[in-house]
Amino acid sequence: MIGYGILTEILKRWGCTVEEHFVTTDDGYEILVIQASINITQATPIVMAHGILVNSLSFVGKYNKTTAYNLMEQGYQIFFLNFRGTRYSKKSRQFSDSDRQFWYFSFHEMGIYDLRSTLKLVFFLTKQKAIIISYSMGTTATLVYTSSYPFEAQNRLLGVILLAPVSTFVNSLSLLIMGAPIWPMIRPFFENLWNGSLFPRNEEFNRFCSSGPGPIFICETLKIPLLGEDYAQMDPLYLPVTNELYVDRTGISVFDHYVQIIMTGQFRQFDYGTVKNIRVYGQIIPPSYQLSNIKVPIALFVGKNDLLASPGDATVLSVRLGSSLCGLTFISYPIWNHIDFLTAKDMNLYLNTPVLAKVAQMEQGLC
């Protein structure tokens, strides 16, 4: 079983100076933010926000091929945010993670509480505006925060880099999207099975997917209809590590909220039903996230073969961002898929070089 401190241990093996910060959010959840650096020569702190069903280990599993390592090699310090519900952020003032109520949160709460609290911490410690680099669900939470608190975000951030941005799924071809209509029918089963959480770590399955070429091939093939095919970027050296480290759980309401977006085609706040919507929002339909309110530069990095965060939806998002858009970049590798942002063997060539260039552009105020 993966130990509690494995993320800190990995970073220390890289030669990093590491500090663990346990942050209590305004709604009472305790999240772990890990601050790491090798040799700070750059003033701008970087905040990294992970995707769904993983945690911040997903940013470090491939050592010197990762975006995080390359940033630290360039002299940046990084704050790794672990969203509520992951193995590093399982506490709340009100509930235990064994209580079903603990898990009734969405990416909305991750944005307005977890990410917001992290940015307050970063500014307190560094007195500098940060750059967020977020991936997949982390991009959704980032869009929630920057649109909900536009002026605060402007005072906390130099810019935002979204890897595999997720706000709508109108053009997505992922099998996950096709399964959305049956979610209301199967939801009660999953809610009762894991008491409100979704897909807790299964050590036996993780070991199977890390146990040899055959099992690794099977597990990677299962991802293709969900995330896109790219066998060429599979990295046999690291797949046993990444398959073991990355997997984590989340709350059932995260899936509820994404299914809502899939079915409506709209990037809106959580739909509680008519009666509660009126009480919470003062209207029957949940309000849309006002992306046009965002006041910080946002850059999008997109895989041409990403079935989940599709190029078409990223293009729509780029239009909706209006003047805050700081570039829409399609990864030059032609079949770059959703998971390649974390696991591709050629991350340095296709991802890290343009991302580091975008960080420098934002620091120079060129967006």
CATH code for the domain of 165 = 3.40.50.1820
Q: Which residues pair with 247 in a beta bridge?
A: 54
Within-domain flag for 21: yes
What is the pTM assigned to this prediction? Answer: 0.95
Within-domain flag for 53: yes
Within-domain flag for 239: yes
Within-domain flag for 275: yes
**Count of domains observed in the chain:** 1
Within-domain flag for 1: no
Within-domain flag for 150: yes
Measured between alpha carbons, how far is 258 from 80 in angstroms, rounded to an integer? 24
Within-domain flag for 215: yes
Domain assignment of residue 116, given as a range: 6-363
pLDDT in tens, the chain (367 residues): 344 578 999 999 999 999 999 999 999 999 999 999 999 999 999 999 999 999 999 999 889 999 999 999 999 999 999 999 999 999 999 999 999 999 999 999 999 999 999 999 999 999 999 999 999 999 999 999 999 999 999 999 999 999 999 999 999 999 999 899 999 999 999 999 999 999 887 777 777 887 778 887 888 888 888 899 888 998 877 777 777 778 899 999 999 999 999 999 999 999 999 999 999 999 999 999 999 999 999 999 999 999 999 999 999 999 999 999 999 999 999 999 999 999 999 999 999 999 999 999 999 999 8
